Amino acid sequence: MKKLFLLSLAIFALLLPSSVLAQFGEPEIRKKEVPKNLYDEGYKAGFGFIFGANDFGFGVGGQYRRVLSRYTEAHLSFKISGLKDPREQVFIDYFFGTKTIPNKYKRVVSFPITLGMKKRVLAEEVSDNFRFFGSFSGGPVFAFSYPYFNDRNRNGFRENNPQAYDTFERPNDILTGWSDGDWHLGLTGSAEIGIDFNANFANLQSFMFGYNFYYFDQGLQILEPSQPQLDDTGNPRYENGELQITNNYAPKKFYGSAQISFVFGWMWD
C-alpha cells in the first residue's frame, strides 16, 4: 500500500507542472479571417445601369467597374439627365394638366462622363451582404440647351399675354427647337456614400447618396435674360411699336444638388 501511495504521489508531481502551465499559459492565437470581397472571390470587372434623381430631375446611364484590390474599385460612368436652374418655379394646373414655368428660356440636357474611385469601409465590422463604401468621381460634362419657346423677335423674353403684348409666343413641346440648340462644355464631380447589397457578388446592387455639381465657365442661360420695362400704369412700354426691355437673369455657372442613385448589374471574372 505504501508503495502504491508513493507511486501515485510521484505521478501527480510529474503531471502538476504541465497542468499549471496549460492553465496559466497564453491561449493559441487564432488567425482573423479576411472578409469576403470581390478580389478574392475572383471577380475583376462589372457593369450596371444607373437610375438617379436630384434637384434637377431624373437621370439614367451606365457604369463600368474594375476591381483593383480587396476593397478598392475604379469606375467609369456615363449618364443622361435633365438640368434646370434652381430658381425655377413650376406651377401645375391639376384640372387641365398643364404646366407653367415662369421666366423659362431654355431646356437643358446634360451628358456627364466621370472617372472615379470606390473604397469599401467597415469591412470587418459589417456583414458581407451589406457592404458600406465611399466614392468620388469627376470629369467633363456636355450640355445641350435648346429654346423653351419660339422667341420670334429675339428679345429674350416670352410675350405670353395677348392682351398686354403685340404678339403671343407659345412654349415648345419637348421635341421642338432642337435645331436652334447649342452645345456647352463644363466640369462635373460628385462625392457619395453607399451600400452594396447581396451576398452573391455576381449580382451588382448598389444604393448611393451624395452631392453632385456642374460648372460651366461661360454659364448657362436657362432663365430669361430680359424682362419688359413698365410704364407708370404698370403696363409694358413700347416705343415705335417695339417692346422696351431691360436685363433680367444672368447666365448661371455653378449647379449643385444632393442626389440619390441606384445601380443594378452584374460582375464577372
What is the three-state SS of 36-62?
CCHHHHCCCEEEEEEEEEECCEEEEEE
* CA–CA distance, 135 with 212 (Å, rounded to integer): 12
Average pLDDT taken over every residue of the chain? 86
Statement: residue 84 has pLDDT above 80: yes
* CA–CA distance, 233 with 51 (Å, rounded to integer): 51
Statement: residue 5 has pLDDT above 70: no
**pLDDT band, very low/low/confident/very high, at 21 (cuts 50, 70, 90):** very low
User: Which pLDDT score, from 0 to 100, does residue 91 have?
Assistant: 82
Q: How many CB atoms within 10 Å of residue 96?
A: 7
Domains in the chain with CATH codes? 37-223+252-268 (2.40.160.20)
The 10s digit of each residue's pLDDT in 194-235 is 999 988 889 999 999 999 999 999 999 999 999 989 888 888
- H or E segment and range at residue 11: helix 2-24
Cell numbers for 166: 403685340
**pLDDT band, very low/low/confident/very high, at 35 (cuts 50, 70, 90):** confident
* CA–CA distance, 164 with 160 (Å, rounded to integer): 8
Determine what percent of the chain is predicted with pLDDT higher than 70: 87
Q: Let me know: does 90 contact 100? Beta carbons within 8 Å.
A: yes
User: Which pLDDT score, from 0 to 100, does residue 166 have?
Assistant: 79
Residues in the chain: 269
The 10s digit of each residue's pLDDT in 100-149 is 788 999 999 999 999 999 999 988 888 888 899 999 999 999 999 999 99
* CA–CA distance, 84 with 101 (Å, rounded to integer): 11
Would you list the DSSP string of 14-38? Answer: HHHHHHHHHHHSPPPPPPPPPPP-H
Q: What is the DSSP letter of 149?
A: B
Cell numbers for 86: 434652381
* Closest residue by Cα to residue 251 from 36, 70, 85, 114: 85
Interacting residues of 190 by C-beta distance below 8 A, sequence separation 6+: 114, 116, 135, 136, 137, 138, 210, 211, 212, 213, 259
Tell me the mean pLDDT in the region 191-195: 96
Statement: residue 74 has pLDDT above 80: yes
**pLDDT band, very low/low/confident/very high, at 27 (cuts 50, 70, 90):** low
* CA–CA distance, 104 with 91 (Å, rounded to integer): 12
Q: Let me know: does 73 contact 117? Beta carbons within 8 Å.
A: yes
